[in-house]
Structure 1
Amino acid sequence: MINNKPTVAILMATYNGEKFISHQIDSILNQSEVNVHFYISDDGSTDNTLNIIQDYKNKYPDNFKAIFNVKFKHPAKNFLSILPKITHTYDFYAFSDQDDVWYQDKLITAINKINEGHDLYCGRTENVDKNLTSIGHSPLFEFAPCFKNAIVQSIAGANTMVFNHKLFEMLKPSFNFTVPMHDWWTYILTTFSGHKVFYDPFPKVMYRQHENNFNGSNLGLFNQLRRIIMGLLGRFKYWNNLNEKNLMEYLDFATQENLKVFYKFQYLRKKSTFINFNPSYINRVGIYRQTTLGNWMLKLSFLLKRA
C-alpha cells in the first residue's frame, strides 16, 4: 500500500533534556496524517539525553534520520545549524523544542494552512507547568503578520513554526549569521521576501514552563517589566543591529515595499535624536507592535536611541 501522507522534517535542538524529551518525541510520532523524519542536533548534553534519543532511533529507524553533536551553547545557532545538513527534499519542515508536547493535529493543521497559500505557519501556545497543567496562553495577537510588524517584534515561538521547502532553502544560509532568535529571524525573513504567514489563534502546542527553560513565557508583570528594562538597557538595539546586518544579505529577495520600510527603519534608528524625534514619523513608516504598550515602548526606544 502506497503511503501518500506528507513528510515533515523535524528539526530538534537538544541540551540536557532527559526529563521531558520522551514526551515531546512521542507527541511528534503520534501526529495525525503525516510522516515525520527527525534531525536532532545535541549541543553537548551531559545527562541521558543522547541515550534516550539513540533508543528511539533503534526502535524507529525509519523516523530518525540523523543525530548531530555540536558545541554552540546557544539554541538559535544549534537550530540553524541543522538546515544545511538536510540534503533530502521534504514537503514541510518544523522546528521542535525538546520539552513541549504537541497536539495530535498540530502538523496537519499547519500543512492545511500552508496548502491554502501560506509559506509559514505559526501561532499561540498553551502554557503549561512541568506536569502539563495549563497555566494560561501566550498573547493573542490580532494585527496581520507582515514585515512592518516583524522588523520590531517576534509574534510566535519556533516551537509552533512549520514551513515549506521554499522557505527552507531561503533560511539555509542563515547558519552563517548571528541571530537574536531563530523564530524571530524566520518571521522577519519570511515577510521581508513577501512570503505569507498564517498566525493561528488556536494553540496547537503545550509550551512547558520549568526552571531550565532557555526562553520562557512572557506572561506576568515581572516578565514584562524585565523585558522592558532589558530593552531600555540596550538589548533591543543590539538585536536590531544583528537583524539589520543580516537583512543586508537578503536585499535581492525583498519586495519593493519592504525595502522602503527597511531603509526608513534604518533612517529612524540612525537619525532620530532626543531633539528632532517625531513619533508621528513611526506611524508614517508603518512599523508597529501588536499591543498599545508595545507601541509606546517602541516610540520610547527610538526617543532614547535604544532601538
Structure 2
Amino acid sequence: MMTTSVAMCTYNGESFLRKQIDSILNQTIPVNEIIICDDRSTDETHNILSDYQKNNPDIFKIHINEKNLKSVKNFEKAISLCSGDIIFLSDQDDIWEENKVEVFTNYFQNMPKINAICSDGIAIDNSGKVIDQRTIWSVPKLLKANDIDVDYFNIIAFIENIATGAGMAFRKSIVEKILPIPTKDGFHHDEWIALLTSYEKSFILIDEKLFRYRIHDNQQVGGVLYKNDDATAKRLVNHFNLFSDEKTFLQYKKFLKRLSQSYNKHKTLSVENDGKNIYISKEIMARCLQLFKHHQKIMRSKYPLKFFILGIADLFNNKRKIK
C-alpha cells in the first residue's frame, strides 16, 4: 500500500484551519503524515496546530520557519520534508472531500506512468456555501465534450495554468526533479510541478470534484471562476483551444499578451534556475515565438484596423512584446 504525506503551509490561518485539518483527518483512507510549515503566523494558528499535534502525535510534524519564506519557498520546504510515496499539497483554508486520498491513491496505483494528478473541485464562500459557477478545473472536460484533444502542456505553458495546488498530488520519486522551485513574481509551485510533469506526459486532471476551494478576501491566488452559462462555455473552448482560429479580437489580444508573458518569464527562468530544467523553458520560448507570429498573422488578417490601433497602443504600453 502506498504511503501518503500532506505538505501543508500555514500563515495566519486561524479562520478556516480547523475545517481543513479535520477534512484531512477524516479521510476514508487515513494519511500517514501531515507536514506543516508555518510561515511566522501572528494569530492563533500556532495554538491550533499544537492542539492537533497533541491529539495526533504520530501524524503531525510541525515546523515553524525562522523567517517568513512566502508561499513558494514555504511549500518547497514542506515538500522536502515529506516521506510518503504520494505527496498531497494542502492550503490552509479549503476542505477535502472524504474520499480524496482514496481516489487519488487508486489513480496512482492504476496509472504507473502518471506522476502528478490534479482533480476538479467546488468553489465555496467564506461560510462554506457552494458558489454556482464554472471552475477552471472543468476546462479539460469541456474541451473533450467538444471533441478537442487535451494537451496539458500546451494549455499550461501557452494559455493558462489549470493546475491548482489545492487539488494536486504527486509521487515522491519526482521531488528531486522539481526542487528547487524557481522564484518569479506570478509563478507558483503548482504551475512549476504541472509544467514539468505535463512536458513528460505524466500529468492528468481528473473529473472528480475532490476538494472545496474557499474564495475569500485574504487568499493569495484566485481567478478560477467563470459564469456557468453557454456563452461562457463557448468562450472558454476558444480560449483554451491553442489552435482555434475562431477567437474574438479580445481573445487574440489576451492570448498574445499571455504568449509574450510566458516567453519573457521563461527567458528569465532559463538563466536564473541554476541550469536545472532549462531545456523546458528554452522549448517554451521557441514555441511561444512560433505561436505568437502565427496568431498575430491571423489576427491582422481578421481585424486589420483594430490590429493597427492595438499595435500603436502596445508601442507606448510595452505590451504583447517578445524581448
**TM bucket, shorter chain:** 0.7 to 0.9
Q: Report the secondary structure of 1:16's partner residue.
A: coil
Deviations 1:267-289 (A, max 9, x none): 3556999xxx333899xxxxxxx
Match of 1:240 in 2: 266
Please tell me whether residue 178 in structure 1 is matched to residue 183 in structure 2.
Answer: yes
Aligned to 1:54: 50
Q: 2:100 matched to which residue of 1?
A: 106
Task: Check the 8 A contact 1:272/1:305 in 2, yes or no.
Answer: no
1:249 aligns with 2:265: no
- Number of residue equivalences: 265
**CA 1:73–1:306 in structure 2 vs 1: closer, same or farther (change >3 Å)?**
farther
Normalised by the length of structure 2, the TM-score is 0.71
The answer to whether residue 208 in structure 2 is matched with residue 214 in structure 1 is: no
Counterpart amino acid of residue 164 in structure 1: R
Q: Distance in 1 between matches of 2:45 and 2:91?
A: 13
**Alpha-carbon deviations, 1:11-37, whole Å to 9, x = none?**
011111000000000000011123331
- The answer to whether the 8 A contact 2:32-2:84 is kept is no
Distance in 2, matches of 1:272 and 1:104, equals 42
Larger radius of gyration: 2
- For the pair 1:305 / 2:317, whether they are aligned, the reply is no
Relative distance call for 1:281 and 1:159 in structure 2 (3 A) is farther
CA distance in structure 2 between the partners assigned to 1:70 and 1:37 by the alignment: 22
RMSD: 3.5
Change in 2 beyond 3 A, CA 1:216/1:36? farther
SS class of match (1:162)? strand
Structure 2 residue 21 is the aligned partner of structure 1 residue 31: no
Question: Contact 2:33–2:84 at 8 Å: present in 1 too?
Answer: no
Secondary structure, counterpart of 2:12 in structure 1:
coil
Counterparts of 2:63 and 2:283, CA distance in 1: 43
Q: Is the 8 A contact 1:12 1:96 kept in 2?
A: yes
Gaps (5+ residues) in structure 2?
141-148, 228-238, 240-249, 299-313
Which letter does structure 2 place at the counterpart of 1:138?
T
Deviation at 1:65, TM superposition (A): 2.2
Change (3 A) 1:115 1:190: same
Q: Is residue 92 of structure 1 aligned with residue 92 of structure 2?
A: no
**How far did 1:185 drift?**
0.3
Q: Post-superposition shift, 1:214?
A: 0.7
Quick one: which amino acid aligns to residue 169 of structure 1?
E
* CA drift at 1:38: 1.1
TM-score (norm 1): 0.74
Q: What is the one-letter code of the residue matched to 1:156?
A: A
Percent of aligned positions that are identical: 27
Give, in whole Å, the separation in 1 of the partners of 2:196 and 2:297.
24
Aligned counterpart in structure 1 of residue 135 of structure 2, from 109, 113, 138: 138
Question: Partner of 2:197 in structure 1?
Answer: 190
Question: Shift in Å at residue 247 of structure 1?
Answer: 9.2
Tell me which amino acid in the other structure corresponds to 1:266: M
Equivalent position SS for 1:53: helix
